[in-house]
Structure 1
Amino acid sequence: MKLGLQFGYWYASPPADANVELAQEAEKLGYDSIWTAESWGNDAFTPLAWLGAHTSKIKLGTAIAQLSARTPTACAMAALALDHLSHGRMILGLGVSGPQVVEGWYGQPFAKPLARTREYVDIIRQVMRREAPVANAGEHYPLPYVGPGSTGMGKPLRSITHPLRADLPIYLGAEGPKNVTQTVEIADGWLPVYYSPFRQEVYADQLKGMKPGFEICPLVQVNIDDDLETALIPVKMTLAFYIGGMGSKEKNFHKDLMCRMGFEAEANKIQELFFEGKREEAMAMVPTQFADEISLCGSKARIKDRLQAWEDSPVTTMLVMGNGGLDMVRTMAELAL
């Protein structure tokens, strides 16, 4: 099992030195990849390009770039450029996000996310293969565009710049069963936001069709502390926010996943408390068992012991993140590599 270092998205301001020191240390220690994210603040590609310019061999991934932030051809251009500049280190991680962000921030419709993802990936693959001018007859990203406001003068185009790799890897963030099934079909890897090696049956049916070389790269929070409950606090805070606030009562993919993983009553209560403004109570409602299964927390010895379950799972790369900075990066390299 390989290690990747997940930096996530920025908060009120960029992280100190834009995470360059951490990226360089991860590269030195043998990490396979580093990853950047976006929400409704920084984009994913700019920090990744900065980190790529300060490293030389570690792979560079977006986890995840949101589909609605840019058209598929614009996304392909960014990935194509970064792949050239990094000498073939780029991994394009994509995801649909959720209706709150898609419609509230990007001003785009969220309907039919699976069909939208399929079209998006197909167009990017066309750009990268550069076998013919790019065209798409689908309803979400028609190329050339013909519709309201169209001049009728659009024509299929082929990228001026020849991609470095026709097979640049595309990974997808997916949570729902249908989305994961489609990811196995059309992508080169899967980026699960929550994965429990102790509940492999949750996604067993969806992963049956995996191609050789298909990557499974879950996000795993790592917090090292001899007191387990203290170590789990950041995990529970994140879960309370995502399950309670990252979506509406009618549509929240994170809550739905927690329900499928066997914690339906708790998920419903967390959402209820969060919407009532009782965030600390919502966090307290997050089951220790659930938070513990999807993370690596506790003493160094405990984390080493629990790594075996991940080694025995289908996971190929663990994307670790946590509050420990260089100490966490070095400890995980010592324990897992």
Structure 2
Amino acid sequence: MTVGVALNATDTDNQIDASVRLAEEAAAAGLRSAWFGQTFGADSPQLAAIAGRAVPGLQVGTSAIPVFGRHPLTVAGQALTAQAATHGRYHLGLALGTKFLTEGGFGLPFERPVARLREFLTALRQLTETGTADFHGELLTAATPIPARVPGADAGVPVLVAAMGPQALRASGELADGILPYLAGPRALAEHIVPAVTAAAEAAGRPAPRIVALVHGVVTDDVDAVREKATEQLAFYEQIPSYARVIELSGGKRAVDAAVIGDERTVAEEVRRYRDAGATEVVFAGTEIAGDADRLRTWDLLGSLAG
């Protein structure tokens, strides 16, 4: 099982320089992958490309780019460029996004998100696999009057979706290479998420999907203080129906209930529970919440588990 981390260098003097330093530290700790979130700030495919090029051997990815406010042509160009820069070590993560950010930020109606995801994935796969597209859907058009190839990029960038609901899981199983569930505990994975996406992939004649479980957690001795910080940090997700549902399916009431906070033994046992629930890869996010010492302590543990 691959073990990686999500890198967050937003609270630094230079996010690009800091991201490269963190990627170097992650690789030195034995971690196999580094993932970058997408907000309204830094461009995550560029961050992944820069960090991946600076740290040979480290797999890099985005988790995840919302399909609203983007177009398959531009996202394919970003993904292929990042893949060429890293010589095939880039993984593209997509997301449905949220009503709050889509309508509040882009001024776009958050309508038919799964239908948009399906069309986005269909057009995107044409572009990343062939460098051309001729897709005309209800919601999107993607055509290439001139080629959209990036020399040096292998055909077929791995595409994963931050899917957790039944319809999104079905679309992801049929059209993507895997999923990036966040705040979905082992119970939700084993009983709901993994069976649904696996069945959809099988029905579509696709290989077994990758299950890249994003876990919010850290190794620390100051469990109560860190849990209090995490409660505040994760409260935003409780307002989003898809996250609220998966937290409940995981057996929790608050988002923090899905976090993994404790000593090395506690965290290692939870990582194994994710593996047993069907996760093919585990990526820890939020490891910076308790400071550098606990972050490095967490990375050392995760690196040993990856080995």
**Which TM-score applies when normalising by structure 2?**
0.85
Matched-pair contact (CA < 8 Å) for 1:174–1:191:
yes
**1:295 aligned residue:** 259
Matched-pair contact (CA < 8 Å) for 2:219–2:297:
no
1:314 pairs with 2:283: no
For 2:16 and 2:92, how far apart are their aligned partners in 1? 25
Structure richer in strand, relative to its length = 2
For 1:165 and 1:329, how far apart are their aligned partners in 2? 30
For 1:329 and 1:6, how far apart are their aligned partners in 2? 11
CA drift of 1:178 comes to: 1.2
For 1:9 and 1:174, how far apart are their aligned partners in 2? 25
- The total of aligned residue pairs comes to 295
List, as ranges, runs of 4+ consecutive aligned residues in structure 1 with deviation greater than 6 Å: none
Percentage of matched positions with identical amino acids: 25
CA drift of 1:32 comes to: 2.1
Alpha carbons of 1:332 and 1:104: their partners in 2 closer, same or farther (altered >3 Å)? same
1:254 maps to a residue whose letter is Y
Matched-pair contact (CA < 8 Å) for 1:307–1:336:
no
1:81 pairs with 2:76: no
Q: Secondary structure at the match of 1:164?
A: coil
1:333 pairs with 2:298: no
**1:148 aligned residue:** none
1:296-332 residue CA offsets vs partner (Å, 9 max, x unmatched): 2111222233333123121011111212333321222
**1:58 aligned residue:** 58
1:97 maps to a residue whose letter is G
**1:218 aligned residue:** 213
Q: Secondary structure at the match of 2:140?
A: coil
In the alignment, structure 1 segments of 5+ residues that lack a partner are 145-154, 267-285
**2:242 aligned residue:** 253
Matched-pair contact (CA < 8 Å) for 1:194–1:219:
yes
For 1:317 and 1:119, how far apart are their aligned partners in 2? 27
1:237 equivalent among 215, 222, 232: 232
1:24 pairs with 2:14: no
Q: Secondary structure at the match of 1:233?
A: helix
For 1:327 and 1:260, how far apart are their aligned partners in 2? 30
Alpha carbons of 1:295 and 1:260: their partners in 2 closer, same or farther (altered >3 Å)? closer
For 2:249 and 2:298, how far apart are their aligned partners in 1? 31
TM-align CA RMSD: 2.5
In the alignment, structure 2 segments of 5+ residues that lack a partner are 289-293
Matched-pair contact (CA < 8 Å) for 2:162–2:179:
yes
For 2:86 and 2:195, how far apart are their aligned partners in 1? 36
